[in-house]
Amino acid sequence: METISKKCDEITEAINAAEVYSYKYNIKILGVPQIEEKESAESTVDLCMELFSAMGVNDVSLQDIDIAHRVSSRRPSSHPNAIVCKFVRRLAKEKIMAARKQLSNVKPDQLGIEMAFPSSFRVRVFDHLAPCTQTLLTEAKKIQASHGFKFCWARNNQICLRRTENSRIIRLKTLQELTNLIEKEAAPR
């Protein structure tokens, strides 16, 4: 029985690793209103290209994008569905991620979007995380404030915690590592 359990754990780990690898080339874009009710992948790719150009990234081309599509929210929401953009090259994704600070300068009319309240337009770009990593980020965010961490973020499918601007970064890859950190924090010193 122990051998079967061990084999199941190995298979689960291999599936998670494959899933994490497949997400490495993806970004998730939030806050871009849908122009069409049934937005085609081609329309979504064009919208992404306009966004990247508005961010000042002009050396990412259509050939760098495998696919872009809308994904439904898990919970009902009034926000537009997120866009997942999958790149062919990781370098193209990294250029977009490096230019994220320029998002505050992007206006809806640059994307061909008319809005009644343009001041409410707020686009955000994140790494698209594998479900196991997203769960870890959610749990880390829950303990962030209660355990005195000022920062909590995801980078390269790892979750990072940091107490202050000058403290060391704690990197987590699994829920067990987060549990161990919490237990270590609770232990008397």
Q: Return the percentage of the chain with pLDDT > 70, whole number.
A: 98
Q: Return the domain boundaries, the chain.
A: 2-127, 131-186
Structure tokens at 163: 């107490």
User: Residues 103-129: pLDDT tens digits?
Assistant: 988 888 888 887 767 777 889 999 999
pLDDT of 64 reads 95
Judged against a pLDDT cut of 90, whether residue 70 lies above it is answered with yes
As a residue count, the chain comes to 189
Backbone angles phi, psi at 16, to 5 degrees: -60, -40
- Tell which wins on pLDDT, 141 or 109: 141
Q: What's the pLDDT band for 189 if we cut at 50, 70, 90?
A: low
In 10 A of CB 12, how many CB atoms?
11
Task: Say which DSSP state 113 is in.
Answer: -
In terms of pLDDT, which residue wins out, 38 or 68? 68
The domain defined by 2-127 carries CATH number 3.30.70.1820: yes
| pLDDT tens readout for residues 73-103 | 777 777 889 999 999 998 999 999 999 999 9
